[in-house]
Structure 1
C-alpha cells in the first residue's frame, strides 16, 4: 500500500461561516499528537483568495444554516478530499483566548486554487434551486481522482458559489509544529468540552419539549448538579470536575449581571 505523502505546514487559509457569507482567515497551525489540530487567527482576509495557489486550504465542513431564514453556507466534497480534526482555536468567536473546542472536521486541500462559479444574477427561487441541484450533482457524480470542494452560499432566491480544487493526487499527511500549550488543549479538556456540549444539547431538547424557557441560571445549575453526581459515581472524575467548575463560573457571571444587589 502506498504511503501518504508527508506535508509540513505552519500556516493555512481557513474558511468558516458564522453567517450566510463564508469568511476566510490566515491562520497558524499546530498539532496535538493523536488528537488533532489547533488554529490561531492571524488576520481576516478582505476577499476570496481567488486564482492563486494556496499551500494549505482548510474548509470548515459544518457550513452554516440560519435559524430564522433560508440563509446558508453549504459544502460538498468529492470522495477523495481529505479531512482533519480541529480541537483548539484562538482568536475566533466571543473568546479571543486559546481554548479547546468540540472537535469538528475540516476539509484539507494542499496546493489548492479557489475559482469563482458564475451563478444567476436575478432574484428567483427556481433559478436558485436549479443552480444548487446541478452544481451539487457535479460533485456527487465525480468519480475521478479530483480533490474538489464546492462552496455554496446565499438565500432562497439567490446563490453564489466557488470551487476549491487541489492538484494533489496522492494521499497527504499534514505535519504541523507541536502545540506548546497542551495544558489548555489536551484529551481531557477536549473531552470536557464535548461532554459539556452534549449536556447542554440534552437540556436544550428538554427545554423545547417541556417548557417555553429555562433561565440561564437554571441551566447552569442543572449542569453543575449532573457533573457533581457523575463525580460521586466516579465517572470520568477529572472531566466532570472541569465541567462543574466551568458551569459555576458561568453561573457566577450570570448572577453578577442579572441579580440585583
Structure 2
C-alpha cells in the first residue's frame, strides 16, 4: 500500500566565515525547514504543515553537517501520532557529521494517541572528531485530556557509527505500551520517556556533570558513559517533569540555551 502522505527534507550545512549556513535544501510533501535567526550556530526548525502523522504516512529526514559546521535541529512543536487503522506511520532520520562538525538533534516530544502505530529510526554516520547530541522523547497518550495510549505499537531503532565503526545500536518495541510501562521492572507507571545520546571526544569526562544535572529531577533517570559516548535515560509519569529534566541536561551539554521553541 503506498504511503497516505510522503514528506521529505534533505539539507546540507556548510561552515563559512565562522558561521554555518544552509548549503542545499530539498523539501517535499508537508515538511518544511525554517531558520528563525542567523547565528554562529545554524538553528533549523522542522515544520509539519499537516499538523500530525497518521497510519500509512512516511517522513524522511536527511541532514548533513559538513566539516566544521555547527547545527541545531528541532521541531516547531510536539509531533502528534494519530490512530492507525492500517499500516504504521514511519519517521526515518539520517544524520551525517563531517570532520569537526557539531550537530544537535533535539526534536520536541512525540505524542502517541491511543491506537497509534509508529516505526521510527535514527541513523548517524559521524567523523571521529565530530560531536553529536541526540535526544528523543515520547509521551504515551494525551494525558492532559485524560487519554492514554492503552493500545498501539511503538518501534524505535537507533544506529550510530563513528569513523565507520558501529558504536551504538538499540531497538525498542512497546506493543500496548501502557500495560508494559505499568510493570515495576519496565516503567513503574511512567507515561513519558526519553533517551539522550552524547557522542564526542570529551563524552566520558562529562558523566558526573550530567548525573549532577539530574539530581533532584522529578523523574527516574540514569546516565552511563563508555569510550567516547554518553547515554542518559529518563522516565516519568509526567511529560512536564520529563521536559524539565531534559532542559537541565541541555543546559549542561549544549553550551548555549535550548532552542527557543523549547522555552
- TM range, normalised to the smaller chain? under 0.3
| Higher strand proportion | 2
Q: Higher helix proportion, which one?
A: 1
With normalisation by structure 2, the TM-score equals 0.25
TM-score scaled to structure 1, two decimals? 0.26
